[in-house]
Amino acid sequence: MKTFISRKEKGGYPMKTNFVQARLFKLGIVSVLLSGSLSLHVVKAAAQIADSNVIERVVDRGPHHKEIETTRTVLDQSGKAVTKTGRYILLQNGLHYRNEAGDWVESQELIEPHPEGATATHGPHKVIFSTHLLDERGTIDLLTPDGKRIRATVLGLAWKSAKTGQTILIAAAKDTVGVIQPPNRVLYKDAFDAIQADVQYTYRTGSLEADVILREKPVLPEGFDAATARLQVVTDFAEVPEPKLDSFLLKEEKDPSARAALAEPDLTDTMIDFGAMQMMAGEAFSLPKANPVANKPAPTAPVAKVWEQEADRTTLTETVEYSALRVQLEQLPQQRQKAEAMKLKPFDLRLARDTATARRPMQVARAQHAETGVVIDWVLVY
């Protein structure tokens, strides 16, 4: 979500925020006072004007903007109070949505308990979050601003060898119960059967973000080379509109001899367009995102996406190179399950949909604890 402000004002006076405007105005009055060119009563009047609130009125709204008219009182060159009006435009993805009456109202980044689990309904896209991660109807049930429905569930984590093309399961998702982390997150903690990792969704006015948060460093399978290993997250889509796909290279192996030795020498990403919402470039990063020692953002790694549609299923596979994420993963404790006990089989997870999961209102977390982790995400943007 990005916010931009465009300003315009009649009378040639630059727009400022109320606080900054008042402070600068006062400083100007004080400097004039020290020069002896302005009487005391004019200074007091100017201070009162500077301290008064600017009157703001919204004159226009749209899905991603609002135009605000301001009225304020200033002193002209003779010391006389005059009224100035101006306008500025606030731009933000999903700033407003239409209510049942058809009026534009301001969006809220808010998730609330609901008989079906939890819901985010105060924005242009609406989401139902199931109480259970492995709900056969989808962990998330999203209605896009243009009326399309998307239902999705994380299935599991895997290793992929770019050298051999082999895929090995790390862990399958298990049916954990989610909690609301106010105001706008749902967390499914300890969401996999063979590694400590969580699934988290974040609702914003202009997006929905899905994160798998690794709390342990996955163990490389025997025979996998760290230089060519890739981490993968697989998500099942039970219902989804037909998207427009645009693929492009994230990384290309240009050395002929190296290409010949790899089953999958390149890393390809896909932009997935559902209409009003698009799945943009994802990234992998460590938590917390800021490096407290260097006081700068922690490094990130690009996440490639592959969209696969078969007769009876649709899946999204996210891939990040282990070499690009190795430093971040080294900060985590080692996966406790031994390598020889891992499920060494091809990755072919499916979510059973023959029984109905009982839904109930989701609980609200009493406290949120900062934890270290490594995140692999996808983001749907409005």
Under 8 Å between Cβ of 212 and 325: no
Under 8 Å between Cβ of 129 and 209: no
| Rounded Cα gap, residues 114 and 40, in angstroms | 61
Q: Can you read off the two tokens belonging to residue 353? A: 């949909």
Q: Write the DSSP assignment of 202-222 as a string of letters.
A: EEETTEEEEEEEESSBPPPPT
Question: Measured between alpha carbons, how far is residue 58 from residues 64, 70, 86, 103, 160 in Å?
Answer: 14, 9, 12, 14, 53
Would the pTM of this model clear 0.85, i.e. be above it?
Answer: no
| Rounded Cα gap, residues 201 and 377, in angstroms | 10
Domain boundaries, the chain: 3-92, 104-381
Q: What is the pLDDT of residue 323?
A: 95
Residues 6+ apart with CB under 8 A from 206: 1, 64, 92, 93, 94, 95, 124, 381, 382
pLDDT tens by residue, 230-287: 999 999 999 999 999 999 999 999 999 999 999 999 999 999 999 999 999 999 999 8
Q: Which residues of the chain have pLDDT under 50?
A: 1-51, 339-347, 353-354
| Rounded Cα gap, residues 283 and 266, in angstroms | 17
Q: What is the pLDDT of residue 116?
A: 85
Under 8 Å between Cβ of 215 and 198: yes
Q: Can you read off the two tokens belonging to residue 62? A: 């749209």
Q: What is the pLDDT of residue 47?
A: 46
Q: Can you read off the two tokens belonging to residue 292? A: 């407290």
| Rounded Cα gap, residues 175 and 253, in angstroms | 39
